[in-house]
Amino acid sequence: MFILTSDHEAVRDMAKAFADERIAPHAVEWDETEHFPIEIMREAAALGMGAIYVREENGGSGLTRLDSALIFEALATGCPCVASFLSIHNMVAWVVDRFASRELQHRYLPKLATMDSVASYCLTEPGAGSDAAALTTRARRDGDDYVLDGVKQFISGAGASDVYLVMARTGEGGPRGISAFLIDNGTAGLSFGANEKKMGWKAQPTRQVILEGVRVPAAQRVGAEGDGFKIAMAGLDGGRLNIGASSIGGGQAALDKALGYMRERKAFGRRIADFQALQFRVADIDASLEAARSLLWRAASALDDKGPDATRLCAIAKRVATDAGFNAANDALQLFGGYGYLADYGVEKIVRDLRVHQILEGTNEIMRVIVARGLIEN
């Protein structure tokens, strides 16, 4: 669990080399121009990072959740925003591979694997964030079709993505009345809100997804009617690991930048790297990242093994890793002094990108709720 095999190292090194060569040199520019680098993501997909844990027979790479954690940490050293969007796309691809009909798998997965088709995940609504089971988007059965009406909020890739995994209410209130659907961009009645002005994650669009009388065949439903919430939560277990890994990668990149700066910067006639107070600071950052990384690997192994405590461990790992990553980046910025506040060094961007990781894929408060409920009920 804690010693990587040569195969694990090869996967990690491949992703890190890609991040160093194709992502990191452009990350600040993409942030400033709000450019969505889909062409770079397709290059990543060509290396197997478009459908990481989709089965090989369905066009995926067939890798493990631990492999995925290694990949997303490595990619996030180049840009947490780009890595996180790839995580969302992979989450949708896995849901199709795990729960969709063979017809839908054959239709969607080959293009999802190459990212010739880009996917977005649509659960959150304006009035249903942490209380996701309270969603009100409605899917009404009409013969062989469903007709969907509602609004999804904070959807990464909205407008640019080709396919949307949408959770909608087909039955009673609460989680058992929710079903999942695949909806293609261009479907009549599907539209998008304005691109949100965000603190970070500027290299991907975030918009509302608006459904007004969107008619889709019943064959576009993923899984059985009423299984949508269960499917959504299953996808989020892996998504939480990925976003945690991306946080660690971003925090590690910020620490590495700070160490480079400390070796060069002089104050009071000495390198600031020689001041013991600052040495203690970087030692604490490194320890927090290493502890979070070990916990994340344990949770990934539990999810691979389908362990009974996998959901609890994924929630714990997401909370710990996203807190550790953000705090590492914020502390690294402090080590730069005033220069850390400038865009030129790329550290303030990492801080802005990682802040949202403590909110999405379930807020860190909700992670505590998941853990506490499991402890009390079991």
* Residues recognised as catalytic: 361
Q: Which residues contact 333 (CB under 8 A, 6 or more apart)?
A: 254, 258, 340, 341, 347, 348, 351
Q: How far is CA 172 from CA 3, 151, 225, 335, 347, in A?
A: 47, 19, 11, 53, 47
Helices and strands: H and E segment counts in the chain? 11, 10
Tell me the residue length of the chain: 378
The rounded distance, in Å, linking the Cα atoms of 344 and 287 is: 27
Buried residues in 323-348 as b, exposed as e (16+ CB within 10 A): bbbbbbbbbbbebbeeebeeeebbbb
Q: Which tokens go with 100?
A: 């969709």
Q: Which residues of 49-65 are buried (b: 16+ CB within 10 A; e: fewer)?
A: bbbbbbeeebbbbbbbb
